[in-house]
Structure 1
Amino acid sequence: MTTAPAASGTQRNASPYLYGQEAAAVAQVLESGQYGHTALTEEFEDRVAAFLGVTDAVAVSSGTAALHTALLAARVGPGDEVIVPSMTFCATVQAIRAVGATPRFVEINPATLCVDQQVVLDAVTESTAAVVPVLFGGRAVDLSPIHSALEERGIAVIEDAAHAFGSLNGTRRVGATGALTCFSFGPIKNLTCGQGGMVIPRTPEEADTIRRLRLLGVTQSQTERASTTCRVDSFGLRYQLSGINAAIGLAQLGHFDTTVETRRRLWGTYRDALRTLEGVTLVDVGPRTAVPHLCQVRVGRRDQVFQEVRSREIGVGVHYPPNHLQPAFAPWRRALPITEQVGQEILSLPFHQHLTEDQINRVVADLGQAIKTARAVR
């Protein structure tokens, strides 16, 4: 049994997908009377670590919290620069600003929407403390050359894998390559906790730091905190993942193989249908190794096409407007012509597990008509 929200077909660009066990799992947590960080949170951490093939995983309250704590654990702070692609969700950049560092925006490869090694290396300055490459759309680009080049220089590489849970880099899953990796389990991610995130630490010391950060710097166990004293040893934040959210994640994890199969099949349906359209470039996520999170195309006259497709009640979107052009990040604006061109052409088609193949074919047909209409407008 699955549950579907209203207007979950072509009218939505993205939509949560539940398998039916999530509600019962949450009800059990509510009946227990323990809603915060519980043994379920730790079980979820253990299950994710086993799934990825890593020794540890630290659950936090969101993907943004994962990035924030990872940057803090890597000792990134005021006066530091962090290299980051401009083409990403603003949360990536806001996490950098949250630690007092400044973003150094770089170009993307237009074919993958991810960064290339040479672009990153050319952007390194004496102030560079970290690089945050984004695994856009779920594509598991090989970042090992960047790691190798920067590790000996003391520059941290923190992978923003918010889109890429379950994707493969060679034979290993993202998160199992030895990198400091951040996942998001938000409402529309391939695996959802309702809201949540995860950090895959590189060392036990890093894991300990992140665990202290997520719990306000408090280091005692639940039993010790029941005493009359509370020891706060360091700076911290309120970033725990609740048992309620962990219960949803555990239920989702039990069906993840089905999620992977479905999302790859739907992405393949789009790929086949889009081959008939002229003037459309599909962004290749590498679906044989990725768990696709988005289905994106590049089109000319994007804004006109967007409005025309929307008028047909098709839930297209734009992921994402380049961050270096956002008012909040104006002090760090620099010319990025490739990103700016892609930013004017990118269009996200409806992509979620409630879609049927017939609905996908309808989306593509309406997109084709919208492109013809936009071209006819002078």
Structure 2
Amino acid sequence: MTITVRPGAGRNASPYLFGEEAAAVAEVLQSGQYGHTDVTEEFERRVAEFLGVRDAVAVMSGTAALHTALLAAEVGPGHEVVVPSMTFCATVQAILAVGATPVFVDVDPATLCVTDQLVMDAVTDRTRAVMPVLFGGRAIDFSRCRKELAARNITIIEDAAHAFGSRNGARRVGATGDLTCFSFGPIKNLTCGQGGLVIPRGHVEAATIRRIRLLGVVQSQAERASTTSYQVEGFGLRYQMSGINAAIGLAQLPHFEKAANTRRILWRAYQRALAGLDGVRLVDVDPDRSVPHLCQVLIPHRDKVHAQMKARGIGVGVHYPPNHLQPAFSQWRRDLPATEQVGRQVLTLPFHQHLTEADIDQIVTALGQALKTVGAASCTRS
């Protein structure tokens, strides 16, 4: 018997709304102020309070967050940035956008995250930043090498696109790094529809990022409205988060803890269901400290199993094809055996708050059927 899942449950990822977002957006629309407004600034204050940090700067996307963080850290041409190859291409594109060179490093196959030792082994005299990716929501502890990196004027810029709400010890991600970048895209643990955010180290970086996100202009919108001129004091881009997007985030934030708990329950349901499948290894996200963003397994014959699951209407995915093997980044290709092996085996299972534990049981049963089908076909050919 071929398992089919409940309509909608087979999606790889799906936005989750709590019912208050539409009214919040309507209020902004009715105000007639759609751009960067006091709603955006309220979102920044509320997120900073939630994370336990002094300041937060909202921008239009997670990629914009990475780009402005690199600029604020004065990373540019001639500099190297140590980065895992196992990440979305946006991480690498942000490095290229400032003219720096990506130095790809391997990951721990158990977590798909870098370790401090892997990073330190890649550091050279040209390294200006390291960019650990908090894959799947898992926090990374860089406390053992933080002092050495700081002594060498190397900034830790955390790509925490997956990790909003996760903890590193007793503190939330964002309160423990140098610069931390979040994404609030449609399927993130907290969504603004689209958006990003940078946690700066101090007032100077915060001011720099705020200037960059407004085309280099120093004056706020309110200040510009009350004068006949304004000053452009440096390079900048139109990276502000709109009040419309901020309103969605503000409506989501009060529900975050409930949503986080739901994601942990669903991830553990997968953990229990997958325990009975031979040859399948679940990528660990440390759900006790993390807010899981993905549920991934390492399996044999990944591409064939992927096709089998798709044929059953189950939206599996691959997060991510290794970047050092991408044509656009081939000049920086290195030998990364763990990443290349994981890149051939990793499969992302449906994971979102619309799922039930019964859905997960069906998805895992279908995965077991697909593995048997593919394994039987392989044995027949051999």
What's the TM-score once normalised by structure 1's chain length? Answer: 0.97
79 and 311 in structure 1: CA distance in 2 versus 1, 3 angstrom threshold: same
How much has 1:177 moved relative to structure 2?
1.1
1:115-174 C-alpha deviation (Å, 9 max, x unpaired)? 111111111112111100000000012122232221111011100000000001110000
Contact 2:156 2:177 in 1 (8 A): no
Contact 2:96 2:102 in 1 (8 A): yes
Note if 1:343 corresponds to 2:367.
Answer: no
How much has 1:309 moved relative to structure 2?
0.9
Inter-partner Cα distance in structure 2 for 1:241 and 1:146: 34
Inter-partner Cα distance in structure 2 for 1:372 and 1:62: 41
Letter in 2 for 1:247: A
Inter-partner Cα distance in structure 2 for 1:352 and 1:77: 38
How much has 1:255 moved relative to structure 2?
0.4
Inter-partner Cα distance in structure 1 for 2:129 and 2:248: 33
374 and 97 in structure 1: CA distance in 2 versus 1, 3 angstrom threshold: same
How much has 1:8 moved relative to structure 2?
3.0
Q: Equivalent residue of 1:292, what SS?
A: coil
How much has 1:179 moved relative to structure 2?
2.3
Inter-partner Cα distance in structure 1 for 2:309 and 2:220: 54
Percent identity over the alignment is 70
Inter-partner Cα distance in structure 2 for 1:359 and 1:367: 12
1:209-257 C-alpha deviation (Å, 9 max, x unpaired)? 0000000010112233122212111110000000000000000001001
Give the 5 Å matches for 1:1-378. Answer: 8-10=8-10, 12-226=11-225, 227-378=227-378
How much has 1:178 moved relative to structure 2?
4.3
225 and 310 in structure 1: CA distance in 2 versus 1, 3 angstrom threshold: same
Contact 2:57 2:206 in 1 (8 A): yes
Across the aligned residues of Structure 1 and Structure 2, the Cα RMSD in angstroms comes to: 1.0
Cross-structure match for 2:3? none
Inter-partner Cα distance in structure 2 for 1:316 and 1:144: 35
Letter in 2 for 1:261: N
Inter-partner Cα distance in structure 1 for 2:90 and 2:105: 16
After the TM superposition, which parts of structure 1 deviate over 4 Å for at least 4 consecutive aligned residues? none
Q: Which runs of 5 or more structure 2 residues have no equivalent in the other structure?
A: 1-5
Q: Equivalent residue of 1:255, what SS?
A: helix
Letter in 2 for 1:228: T
Q: Equivalent residue of 2:251, what SS?
A: helix
Inter-partner Cα distance in structure 2 for 1:157 and 1:139: 16
How much has 1:348 moved relative to structure 2?
0.3
178 and 330 in structure 1: CA distance in 2 versus 1, 3 angstrom threshold: closer
Inter-partner Cα distance in structure 1 for 2:304 and 2:220: 57
Q: Which runs of 5 or more structure 1 residues have no equivalent in the other structure?
A: 1-5
Letter in 2 for 1:316: V
How much has 1:7 moved relative to structure 2?
5.2
Letter in 1 for 2:29: L
